[in-house]
Amino acid sequence: MPEADARLVELARSGDSAAFEKLVRRHLRAAYSVALATIGEPADAEDICQDAFITALERLDECRNAEKFLSWLLQIVRNRAHSVRRYQTVRRALPLDDALGSAGSEDPARDMDRTEIRQRLTEAMEGLTAIQREVVLLHDLQGWRHREIGELLGLPEGTVRAHLFHARRALRARLGTGLFEEA
């Protein structure tokens, strides 16, 4: 049975680096999902996660309730992501892979379709509120339950369900029904 977060936090506070590493491994995907939901760029989300974990380590004594380490950590991630988003420049460049294309691909038409689908999904997700993006990514991508998301975000389970419902409806409206039939 895996050690509880509270125990790992205690050990990390006493200088056990392996305990903090376990916390990082356990919660990296959730942190990344929250950062990605807020910022929209995978590379930036990775940087935000790294910064957030460093901040968490430096401020571990400020985590009042070690049992709620994940909620505390994800609030750090959210705050860092919002700060990055506020200070981003207007200039947006294509990721290098998209700009160069995939030279070794066996099916350029399929790659082009995937690139188009990825772009449409990204644009559709940008039209959602930050909380809707977060709920969709945590529920649909990470497999979290409504109750777990509600506890994390401090929302009633019904509110989480409503955010997910409205987010999915908005995505369907923006993407249309034929998007996935082509791929």
Kindly report, residue by residue over 94-131, the tens digit of the pLDDT: 455 554 454 555 777 777 777 777 788 778 888 888 88
Has residue 59 got a pLDDT over 90? yes
Structure tokens belonging to residue 85: 């988003």
- The least confident of 11-15, 51-55, 72-76, 174-178 is 174-178
Q: How far apart are CA 72 and CA 66, in angstroms?
A: 9
Top-ranked range on mean pLDDT: pick from 69-83, 103-117, 118-132, 164-178: 69-83
CA distances from 14 to 7, 18, 21, 61 (A): 11, 11, 14, 10
Residues 35 and 49: beta-carbon distance below 8 Å: yes
Q: What is the pLDDT of residue 91?
A: 42
Q: Name the architecture of domain 5-87.
A: Orthogonal Bundle (1.10)
Rounded CA separation 71/6 (Å): 12
**Integer Cα distance of 132 and 19 in angstroms:** 32
Comma-separated ranges of CATH 1.10.1740.10 domains in the chain: 5-87
Residue 10, both tokens: 């205690």
Strand blocks (E) in 2-86: none
pLDDT tens profile 43-55? 999 999 999 999 9
Is the pLDDT reported for residue 183 higher than 50? no
- For 2, which DSSP code? P
According to CATH, what is the number of the domain 107-182?
1.10.10.10
- Classify burial at 96, counting beta carbons within 10 Å of its beta carbon; exposed 0-12, middle 13-18, buried 19 or more: exposed
CB of 66 closer than 8 Å to CB of 5:
yes
How far is residue 139's CA from residue 6's CA, in Å, rounded to a whole number?
Answer: 24
Residue 174 tokens read as 């923006």
In the chain, CATH 1.10.10.10 sits at 107-182
CA 168-84-8 angle, to 5 degrees, is 80
Q: What is the pTM of this model?
A: 0.59
